[in-house]
Chain A
Amino acid sequence: MSDEPVLKQTPLFHEHEKLGAKMTEFGGWNMPVYYSSIVDEHHAVRNQVGMFDISHMGQIEVSGLAAKDWLNRILSNNVDRLAIGQGQYTFLLNDRGGVIDDLIAYRRRDNQFFLVVNAAKIEEDFAWMQKSLSGGVTLLNCSSLFAAIAVQGPRSAELMADFGELPTRNHIRDLKIAEYSTMIARTGYTGEDGFELFFPGGLAPFIWNRLLDLGKPLGVRPCGLGSRDTLRIEACYPLNGSDLSQDRTPLEAGLASFVDLEKGEFIGREALCAQKKASVRQRLSALKATEKSPPFRPHYPLFVSGERIGELTSGTQSPTLGVGIGLGYLDAAFAQPGQKVEIEIRGRKYAANVEKKPLYKKSI
Chain B
Amino acid sequence: MQIPDDLKYTESHEWIRPDGEIGTVGITDFAQDSLGDIVFLELPEAGTSFQQGETTGVVESVKTVSDILAPVSGEVIEVNSGLETSPQSVNKDPYGSGWLFRIRLANSDEIASLLSSSDYRAKVEK
Residues of A294-334 whose CB lies within 8 A of B? 294-295, 297, 316-317, 319
Say if the beta carbon of A22 comes within 8 Å of chain B.
yes
Say if the beta carbon of A226 comes within 8 Å of chain B.
yes
Name the A residues within 8 Å of B39 (CB-CB). Answer: 39, 295, 317
Closest-by-CB residue of A relative to B91 is A37
Name the B residues within 8 Å of A38 (CB-CB). Answer: 36-37, 61-63
Name the A residues within 8 Å of B65 (CB-CB). Answer: 294, 297
Q: Are A39's CB and B40's CB within 8 A? A: no
* Contact indicator per residue, chain B 16-43, by CB within 8 Å of chain A (1) or not (0): 0000000000000000000011011010
Q: Are B62's CB and A319's CB within 8 A? A: yes
Interface residues on chain B, number (Cβ under 8 Å): 11
Name the B residues within 8 Å of A319 (CB-CB). Answer: 62
Q: Are A294's CB and B60's CB within 8 A? A: yes
Interface residues on chain A, number (Cβ under 8 Å): 16
A346 CA / B37 CA spacing, docked (Å): 21
Name the A residues within 8 Å of B62 (CB-CB). Answer: 38-39, 226, 230, 295, 316-317, 319
CB distance from B35 to the nearest CB of A (A): 10
Say if the beta carbon of B124 comes within 8 Å of chain A.
no
Residues of A within 8 A of B (CB): 22, 33-34, 37-39, 226, 230, 293-295, 297, 316-317, 319, 346
* Contact indicator per residue, chain B 47-66, by CB within 8 Å of chain A (1) or not (0): 00000000000101111010
Name the A residues within 8 Å of B63 (CB-CB). Answer: 33, 38, 226
A297 CA / B39 CA spacing, docked (Å): 13
Name the B residues within 8 Å of A226 (CB-CB). Answer: 36, 62-63
Contact A34 B40, CB 8 Å, known A39-B62, A226-B62: no
Closest-by-CB residue of B relative to A22 is B36
* Contact indicator per residue, chain B 62-98, by CB within 8 Å of chain A (1) or not (0): 1101000000000000000000000000000000000
Contact A295 B37, CB 8 Å, known A226-B63, A346-B58: no
Q: List 25 A-B contacts (CB under 8 A).
A: A22-B36, A33-B36, A37-B36, A37-B37, A38-B37, A38-B61, A38-B62, A39-B37, A39-B39, A39-B62, A226-B63, A293-B40, A294-B40, A294-B42, A294-B58, A294-B60, A295-B40, A295-B60, A295-B62, A317-B39, A317-B40, A317-B60, A317-B62, A319-B62, A346-B42
**Chain A contact residues, majority secondary structure:** mixed
A297 CA / B62 CA spacing, docked (Å): 10
Contact A34 B36, CB 8 Å, known A294-B42, A297-B65: yes
CB distance from A332 to the nearest CB of B (A): 31
CB distance from A288 to the nearest CB of B (A): 15
Known: A297-B65, A317-B62. 13 other contacts (CB 8 A): A22-B36, A33-B36, A33-B63, A37-B36, A37-B37, A38-B36, A38-B37, A38-B63, A39-B37, A226-B36, A295-B40, A295-B62, A319-B62
CB distance from A9 to the nearest CB of B (A): 21
Name the B residues within 8 Å of A230 (CB-CB). Answer: 62
Closest-by-CB residue of B relative to A229 is B63
A294 CA / B57 CA spacing, docked (Å): 12
A189 CA / B63 CA spacing, docked (Å): 18
A346 CA / B61 CA spacing, docked (Å): 16
CB distance from A348 to the nearest CB of B (A): 9
Kindly name the residue among B37, B42, B61 whose own CB sees the greatest number of chain A CB atoms within 10 A. B37
